[in-house]
């Protein structure tokens, strides 16, 4: 099984102190930082783009930016995100008609490629060809576009279906995940845990990160 990875979602951070917030999370044990890029088209919200990612990359040595591209035409932004220091470029399957070609373009820029599916998209939409080409598969457990939504338990079986087909892939869950909901995700086979409010809203983020990682380790030991 791939290693447990905790990727705090900066959507829940203090954007006025973004670089410091990212450093703080890494100090508390986060392996990745989940950067939500929203364009106001694919989702109704606007967040950050390549210029902000570039500043964070320069200001936070060693950061692994897990870039979740909630954008229309994800093909357009591959070069910008790569130039800004993105380590993983995760696009939505619903936003492109040629996912394998896009995965190849991401790899050409030396980034890992992730494929995300929204709550109403079945896991079967990630074909064996797409899954084999990608480095990471992301199952959204809320509707993309804003933080603080309630966890959708009905999305969890998709994690199990993908884990059965792709035993060696990183499988990420994102949306409403925290200490109360992580066990279901970990049991289904997710090894990359995105949590925003649960970590950034805590007085003891280090403990929350450790709790999330422990849930994955415990589930992996059982399977």
- Residue 118 is labelled as binding a ligand: no
The active-site residue, picked from 39, 168, 174, 203, is 174
> Up-side HSE of residue 7: CA atoms within 13 Å toward CB?
28
The active-site residue, picked from 36, 39, 66, 170, is 36
**Phi, psi dihedral angles at 115 (to 5 degrees):** -125, 125
- Residue 211 is labelled as binding a ligand: no
CA distance 193 to 133: 21
- Residue 76 is labelled as binding a ligand: no
Cβ neighbourhood burial of 33 (10 Å; 0-12, 13-18, 19+): buried
With DSSP H G I counted as helix, E B as strand and the rest as coil, what are the percentages for the chain, rounded to 5?
45, 20, 35
- Residue 174 is labelled as binding a ligand: yes
Catalytic residue check, 66: no
> Up-side HSE of residue 200: CA atoms within 13 Å toward CB?
24
- Residue 189 is labelled as binding a ligand: no
- Residue 146 is labelled as binding a ligand: yes
- Residue 36 is labelled as binding a ligand: yes
Catalytic residue check, 36: yes
- Residue 92 is labelled as binding a ligand: no
For residue 70, which of 194, 156, 190 has the smallest C-alpha distance?
194
Residues 33/67, Cβ–Cβ less than 8 Å: no
Binding residue ranges for a divalent metal cation: 34, 36, 68, 174
List, as residue ranges, the binding site for substrate: 9, 68, 145-148, 176, 196-197
Q: Which residues are catalytic?
A: 36, 174
């Amino acid at each position: 099984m791939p290693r447990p990875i905790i990727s705090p979602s900066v959507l829940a951070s203090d954007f006025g102190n973004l670089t410091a917030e990212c450093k703080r999370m890494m100090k508390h044990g986060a392996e990745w930082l989940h950067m939500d890029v929203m364009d106001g088209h694919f989702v109704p919200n606007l967040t950050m783009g390549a210029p902000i990612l570039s500043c964070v990359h320069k200001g936070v040595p060693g950061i692994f930016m897990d870039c979740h591209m909630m954008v229309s035409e994800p093909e357009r932004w591959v070069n910008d995100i790569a130039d800004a220091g993105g380590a993983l470029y995760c696009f939505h399957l619903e936003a492109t008609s040629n996912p394998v070609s896009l995965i190849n373009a991401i790899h050409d820029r030396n980034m890992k490629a992730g494929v995300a599916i929204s709550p109403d998209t079945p896991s079967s939409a990630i074909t064996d060809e797409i899954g084999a080409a990608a480095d990471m598969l992301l199952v959204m457990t809320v509707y993309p576009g804003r933080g603080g939504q309630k966890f959708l338990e009905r999305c969890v079986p998709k994690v199990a279906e993908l884990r059965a087909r792709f035993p060696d892939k990183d499988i990420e869950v994102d949306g409403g995940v925290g200490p109360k909901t992580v066990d279901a995700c970990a049991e289904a086979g997710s090894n990359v845990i995105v949590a925003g409010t649960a970590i950034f809203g805590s007085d003891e983020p280090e403990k929350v990160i450790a709790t999330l990682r422990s849930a994955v380790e415990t589930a992996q030991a059982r399977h």
